[in-house]
Amino acid sequence: MARQSISFTQPNDEWLKTQVDNKEYSSKSELVNDLIRNHEKNFTDRFTDTFHLKCQ
């Protein structure tokens, strides 16, 4: 897996840490990857819905 270095605002970093501390995720990396996957899925779903509406 590729490594990246990213910066978070303090509130976002605290939210990420809380999710990991609450055992929702095992690491910040896992959480960020899940957020990206969910965003991609939502984007794809919206694009598909829009495409189908335009084709009707």
- pLDDT score of 36: 97
- pLDDT score of 52: 63
Neighbours of 29 (CB within 10 A): 14
For the question of whether the overall pTM of this predicted structure is more than 0.75, the answer is: no
Q: For 1-54, how does the pLDDT look when each residue is reduced to its tens digit (9 = 90+)?
A: 899 999 999 999 999 999 999 999 999 999 999 999 999 999 888 767 666 666
- pLDDT score of 32: 97
Listing DSSP states for 9-54 in one string gives: -HHHHHHHHHHHHTTS-SSHHHHHHHHHHHHHHHHHHHHHHHHHHH
